[in-house]
Amino acid sequence: GGMGLISGRKAFQRPMKEGVEILHAIQDVYLNKEVTIA
């Protein structure tokens, strides 16, 4: 929830390409945690 919004805003304040890469990295970590928990 909130953490994702904050991360997204920080990413969009940077150059678009770098921001997208950061978002993908965050999503990868999040998805990996989801898989591990499951």
Task: Tell me what pLDDT residue 14 has.
Answer: 57
Task: Tell me what pLDDT residue 4 has.
Answer: 60
Q: How confident is the model over 1-38, as pLDDT tens digits?
A: 455 666 666 655 656 677 778 888 888 888 877 777 66
Question: How far apart (Å, rounded) are the C-alpha atoms in residues 7 and 23?
Answer: 8
Task: Tell me what pLDDT residue 1 has.
Answer: 47
HSE-up (13 A, CA, CB side) for residue 6: 3
Task: Tell me what pLDDT residue 17 has.
Answer: 74
